[in-house]
Amino acid sequence: MSGHARTSVRVGVEIAGSGACLPSRRLTNNDLVSMMDTSDEWIVQRTGIRERRVYDPKVEGTADLAIGAARAAIADAGMKPTDIDLVIVGTMTPDAPTPGVASVVAARIGAGHVGAMDVNGACCGFVFSLNVAHDMINSGGYKSIVVIGADTITRFCDFTTAGRNVAVLFGDAAAAIVLRVNQDPSIGLLAQAMHSDGEGARNLFVPGRELDFPPNVEYAPEKIHRIYMDGQAVFKFAVGTFPKLIEQTLEKAGLAADDVDHYVCHQSNYRILNSARERFGLSPEKLSVNIDRYGNTVGASVPLVFDELRKSGRIHPGQKVMFLAFGAGLTWGSSLWQL
Ligand code: UT7
């Protein structure tokens, strides 16, 4: 049953399961060398990426990956698709303007006529969706929500030398978690933050038409539907924003950096993650990195890290987990959980 009556009773929200779905095609840095003027050494040194997965548009899309991730997460929670009463997908690369990815997922996993919506927050799509989903359960409206991050961003990359500064960074993936009502009200969100800066989008955007080009970027027809990124400007934004976001979220929850067991971070560059580790004195166990194997998978990046942690037995009840992302929009956001 979808859309239960809203009540003033606050309940707990648990993370009941997680899952991921990756395209089978692997593209290593050396594969890229045969497509453009680049090198394994340049990519590893500047980003930490060694390989990424790339979808095959002839046989799969964002929805297919999202469906795989949703099914895996629902099974991991020991639930059935019919137990789910809302599907939310964080994505900036739906297969088509309509239907939304979430509608396709709800139908194809067999969830029935439940609510389904996409959230376009680029790399923050999953974290924003998680915050929305938490409050939908916490306020008594829904019981079980599958939250998915799914993107096939490589379709907006130019795999020639002209696009090398962007194409080497990205990969395709989907990952999901299932949120479920829990009678213990101490379980769930402790603090969250969501931000945007539309002006900053001039440094990271995907133009759909000539009018979308800001004054700092010269229009050319071949740049339509290709990611434009001023790497250094975005790097500066990320390195500056990341610690502020962590501090702001800790302060809201009244916690110290060390009180958090896992910082589950958007994977856009190893050097950005490492600067946060150094700033807060975090061990590699507290801030996991998987960018070496997947690159930047946009909305899938954060839940993909969480799923790996969970599958490796490092997520336990009682822990505190901070999900963090920043990216195009520009957007940045956090979600701090008591498990
Ligand atoms: O979720 C989206 C968020 N995006 C990000 O977080 C990205 C943030 N930015 C970055 O991670 C870095 O800026 C990059 C990894 C994208 C680039 O690193 P950089 O140290 O800022 O390099 P650069 O753009 O300043 O380029 C340095 C040189 C240039 O050559 P010249 O002008 O010095 O001769 C580039 O043409 O590296 C060249 N270059 C490459 N060389 C080999 C750019 N891309 C490549 C490449 N392979 N793929």
Averaged pLDDT of the chain: 95
Q: Residue 10's pLDDT is what?
A: 81
Q: Residue 3's pLDDT is what?
A: 45
Q: Which residue has the CA at smallest separation from atom 14 of ligand 1?
A: 231
How much of the chain exceeds pLDDT 90, in percent? 96
Task: Give the separation between CA 312 and CA 34, rounded to whole angstroms.
Answer: 35
Give the model's confidence band at 73: pLDDT under 50 very low, under 70 low, under 90 confident, else very high: very high
| Residue 178: closest CA among 236, 129, 227, 122 | 129
pLDDT(122) > 70? yes
Q: Which residue has the CA at smallest separation from atom 2 of ligand 1?
A: 327
* Angle subtended at Cα 148 by Cα 243 and Cα 223, rounded to the nearest 5 degrees: 75
Q: Residue 9's pLDDT is what?
A: 52
pLDDT digits (tens, 9 = 90+) for 305-322: 999 999 999 999 999 999
pLDDT(165) > 50? yes
Walk me through the domains of the chain, giving residue ranges and CATH numbers.
1-339 (3.40.47.10)
Q: Which residue has the CA at smallest separation from atom 30 of ligand 1?
A: 165
Q: Which residue has the CA at smallest separation from atom 26 of ligand 1?
A: 165
Q: How far is the CA of 230 from the centre of ligand 1 (A)?
A: 9
| Residue 324: closest CA among 314, 316, 335 | 335
Q: Kindly state the average pLDDT of the residues 46-71.
A: 97
Nearest atom of ligand 1 to the alpha carbon of 296: 1
Q: Kindly state the average pLDDT of the residues 252-269.
A: 96
pLDDT(145) > 50? yes
pLDDT digits (tens, 9 = 90+) for 266-307: 999 999 999 999 999 999 899 999 999 999 999 999 999 999
Nearest atom of ligand 1 to the alpha carbon of 38: 47
Residues 6 or more apart in contact with residue 308 via CB below 8 angstroms: 20, 288, 290
Give the model's confidence band at 325: pLDDT under 50 very low, under 70 low, under 90 confident, else very high: very high
Give the model's confidence band at 28: pLDDT under 50 very low, under 70 low, under 90 confident, else very high: very high
Ligand 1, from 35, 41, 46, 153: best to mutate by most atoms within 8 Å of Cβ? Answer: 46
pLDDT(7) > 60? no
How many C-beta atoms lie closer than 10 Å to residue 289's C-beta?
15
Q: How far is the CA of 263 from the centre of ligand 1 (A)?
A: 26
Q: How far is the CA of 169 from the centre of ligand 1 (A)?
A: 9
Q: Which residue has the CA at smallest separation from atom 43 of ligand 1?
A: 165
Catalytic residue positions?
123, 266, 296
Q: How far is the CA of 232 from the centre of ligand 1 (A)?
A: 7
pLDDT digits (tens, 9 = 90+) for 196-215: 999 999 999 999 999 999 99
Q: How far is the CA of 48 from the centre of ligand 1 (A)?
A: 12
Q: Residue 2's pLDDT is what?
A: 43
pLDDT(4) > 90? no
Q: Kindly state the average pLDDT of the residues 106-130.
A: 98
Task: Give the separation between CA 160 and CA 37, rounded to whole angstroms.
Answer: 8
Give the model's confidence band at 5: pLDDT under 50 very low, under 70 low, under 90 confident, else very high: very low
pLDDT(173) > 70? yes
- Confirm whether pTM is higher than 0.85: yes
Q: Which residues line ligand 1 (CB under 6 A)?
A: 38, 42, 46-47, 123, 164-165, 168, 231-232, 234-235, 238, 268-269, 296, 327
How much of the chain exceeds pLDDT 70, in percent? 97
Nearest atom of ligand 1 to the alpha carbon of 122: 1
Q: Kindly state the average pLDDT of the residues 6-14.
A: 73
